[in-house]
Homo-oligomer: A and B are copies of this chain.
């Protein structure tokens, strides 16, 4: 049983501020002081509730991607569905952007990205690709394209990538992902 503590609001405020700062500044430049200021409390509270900076990041990047029911969908459209879903997920909050930014300079962050993508797109690949043995390869290819678009659109902000509509991106990347998943090995 998990009782409701009086400090739950503060804890949530800290997490929200942390996610924003990690997403926009990366791990090193997102200082505990700035996060505490955003949350309207003292820096020492962050330490009390999350131990240290690493613990704070671990808590802030605790998420569920929540891929939809993969098996029920027609295997023909799996590429477009995957791209759509990740695009939605990326734009719904800042957690994924934070993870990507942190993953580039921080060991724990990289592990987090690795784990999430392996656990989320790995099974999908295993389900639909011709030879289950190279499912990891397929998953990595898919991840490279999805992470690359996220990098270009949300982190580096290449103007054409930012201006494209979600539909356009799905129309372009969908077939790529589809091929990475279902085509015969070249």
Binding site for B on A (CB under 8 A): 25-26, 28-29, 100-101, 103-105, 110, 113-114, 117-118, 136-137, 139-141, 143-149, 151-153, 155-161, 164, 168, 171-173, 175-176, 179-180, 186
Contact = CB atoms under 8 A, between A and B. Distances in A.
A121 B161 CA distance: 14
A160 B158 CA distance: 27
Q: Which of A141, A144, A164, A180: most chain B Cβ within 10 A?
A: A144
Nearest to A156: B110
A164 B137 contact: yes
A160 B172 contact: no
13 contacts: A26-B104, A26-B105, A28-B28, A101-B104, A103-B156, A104-B151, A104-B156, A139-B160, A141-B173, A143-B148, A147-B148, A147-B152, A172-B180
Contact of A140 (B104, B113, B117, B161): B161
Tally of this chain's copies: 2
Contact of A25 (B101, B105, B137, B141): B105
A114 B101 CA distance: 17
A152 B140 contact: yes
Nearest to A135: B160
A179 B183 CA distance: 15
